[in-house]
């Protein structure tokens, strides 16, 4: 489920793994985007009382929680041409914030961060900080993006052949077996343009990988090595117990029960613009935390809700219900995101991050020479 960051003062849509906070507010007061305000993190039980933690993190626009809930990976988007996006690691226990050497993604099972460093990939084990090189750096063959399988047996990544004269085959999809570090090239394709956050999606049983090219969504079946093209507009979304697959078309929104083949209708007959914008599935079973789009606003933004769902049709609103008037928060201005589940599956985390609304990056606030938002690939 992805968001797009806007360039040049016209649009901005966020990259995906992130967070919420002061929900139930109407239009938020516009503050100086460089004013250091702490990131607030909420732990939301499926049943029980929401707890709030005020951190020492400031000016973080994207975030994700480690499996244990101790560490937060975050990124501060650059406000101008020379103000680059910077990745950070925050320790919830020591309250220490450390700048990292590259963009990272959490291990699915342990407090280890996979980091794209100097065109290669390293694994940073925590809390000791031990670094292991998985994919050596190569200036003419840099890694553009990567993803680790849910069982952590494989990592997929794409390297760009900088010397290739044919862009349609310059992206090389490589699968690495993590226990042995052996690698195999599985495809050559054109790297997709744009600023999509996710270019890969693993099915929860780790047997299939979906990946995006410039022209299609493709599927790699790991047991057979076969590849398929799909006529899709977004990646699929499966519950971790493989019971449900979320589906949305122009006319329908439903969960497909993969055991019975039945559709569980999710289309709201009252709030017709409403749909599930982002689903974060519990690590076990099919509980889910949801960022729900309610409707667009007149400020190039969207009204949103946060949902906790014990079953796909049994949801509650921990930060305010749509039945009580205005939606809970603004998508871009408030920038509230689900950043991950606790390891036991009994609660999840939501963070209230710095605004990513285009107006906070405007030349009126930042000066005429600083009006380009740097996007990372």
Structure confidence at residue 322 (pLDDT): 80
Separation of alpha carbons 140 and 119, rounded Å? 9
Structure confidence at residue 371 (pLDDT): 39
The closest of 137, 212, 202, 121 to 173, measured between CA atoms, is 212
Q: Regarding beta strands 244-248 and 263-265, do their DSSP bridges make them parallel or antiparallel, or are they unpaired?
A: unpaired
Q: CB–CB of 12/332 below 8 Å?
A: yes
The closest of 14, 9, 24, 63 to 40, measured between CA atoms, is 63
Phi-psi region of 69 (alpha: psi -120 to 50; beta: other; left: phi over 0): left
Residue 31 or 33, more confident = 33
How is residue 323 written in tokens? 């039945």
Full-model pTM: 0.85
**Interval 226-242: pLDDT, tens:** 999 998 888 999 999 99
**Interval 331-346: pLDDT, tens:** 999 999 999 999 999 9
How is residue 281 written in tokens? 């599935």
pLDDT above 50 for 375? no
* Alpha-carbon distance values, 328 to 136, 244, 273, 275, 331 (Å): 45, 27, 15, 15, 10
| Mean pLDDT calculated for residue range 194-208 | 90
pLDDT above 60 for 9? no
Separation of alpha carbons 86 and 75, rounded Å? 6
Q: What angle do CA 156, 160, 162 make, to 5 degrees?
A: 165
Structure confidence at residue 17 (pLDDT): 30
Structure confidence at residue 26 (pLDDT): 32
Structure confidence at residue 358 (pLDDT): 87
Separation of alpha carbons 240 and 245, rounded Å? 10
CA quadruple 340, 89, 85, 63: dihedral, nearest 10: 10
**Interval 107-125: pLDDT, tens:** 999 999 999 999 999 999 9
Q: What angle do CA 105, 111, 112 make, to 5 degrees?
A: 50
pLDDT above 50 for 14? no
Residue 14 or 51, more confident = 51
Structure confidence at residue 167 (pLDDT): 94
pLDDT above 50 for 369? no
CA torsion through residues 71, 116, 81, 62, sign: negative
pLDDT above 90 for 202? yes
Domains, the chain: 126-235 (2.120.10.30)
pLDDT above 50 for 146? yes
Of 138-142, 231-235, 359-363, 369-373, highest mean pLDDT: 138-142
Residue 10 or 176, more confident = 176
**Interval 67-115: pLDDT, tens:** 999 999 999 998 877 788 999 999 999 999 999 999 999 999 999 999 9
Q: Looking at residue 329, what DSSP letter applies?
A: E
**Interval 254-306: pLDDT, tens:** 999 999 999 999 987 767 789 999 999 999 899 999 999 998 988 889 999 99
């Amino acid at each position: 489920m992805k968001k797009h960051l806007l360039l040049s003062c016209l649009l901005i849509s966020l990259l995906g793994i992130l967070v919420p906070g002061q929900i139930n507010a109407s239009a938020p007061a516009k503050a100086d985007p460089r004013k250091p305000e702490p990131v607030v993190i909420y732990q939301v039980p499926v049943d029980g009382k929401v707890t709030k933690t005020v951190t020492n993190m400031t000016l973080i626009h994207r975030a994700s929680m480690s499996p244990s809930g101790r560490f937060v990976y975050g990124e501060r988007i650059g406000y101008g041409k020379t103000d680059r996006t910077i990745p950070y690691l925050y320790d919830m226990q020591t309250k220490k914030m450390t700048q990292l050497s590259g963009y990272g993604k959490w291990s699915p099972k342990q407090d280890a961060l996979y980091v794209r460093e100097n065109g290669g990939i390293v694994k940073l084990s925590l809390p000791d900080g031990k670094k292991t090189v998985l994919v050596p750096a190569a200036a003419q063959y840099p890694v553009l993006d990567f993803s680790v399988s849910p069982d952590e047996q494989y990592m997929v990544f794409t390297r760009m052949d900088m010397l290739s004269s044919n862009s349609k085959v310059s992206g090389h999809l490589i699968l690495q077996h993590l226990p042995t570090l052996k690698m195999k090239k599985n495809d050559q394709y054109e790297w997709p343009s744009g600023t999509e956050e996710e270019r890969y999606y693993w099915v929860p049983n780790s047997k299939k990988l979906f990946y995006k090219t410039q022209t299609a969504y493709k599927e790699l079946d790991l047991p057979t090595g076969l590849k398929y093209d799909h006529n899709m507009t977004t990646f699929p979304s499966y519950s971790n117990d493989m019971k449900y697959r979320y589906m949305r078309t122009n006319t329908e929104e439903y969960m497909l029960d993969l055991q019975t083949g039945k559709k569980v209708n999710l289309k709201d007959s009252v709030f017709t613009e409403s749909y599930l914008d982002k689903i974060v599935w519990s690590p076990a079973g099919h509980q889910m935390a949801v960022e729900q789009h309610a409707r667009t606003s007149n400020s190039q933004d969207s009204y949103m809700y946060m949902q906790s769902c014990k079953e796909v049709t049994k949801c509650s609103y921990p930060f305010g219900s749509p039945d009580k008037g205005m939606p809970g928060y603004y998508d871009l201005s408030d920038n509230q995101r689900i950043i991950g589940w606790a390891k036991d599956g009994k609660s999840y985390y939501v963070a209230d991050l710095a605004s990513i609304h285009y107006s906070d990056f405007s030349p009126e606030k930042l000066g005429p020479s600083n009006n380009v938002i740097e996007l990372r690939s």
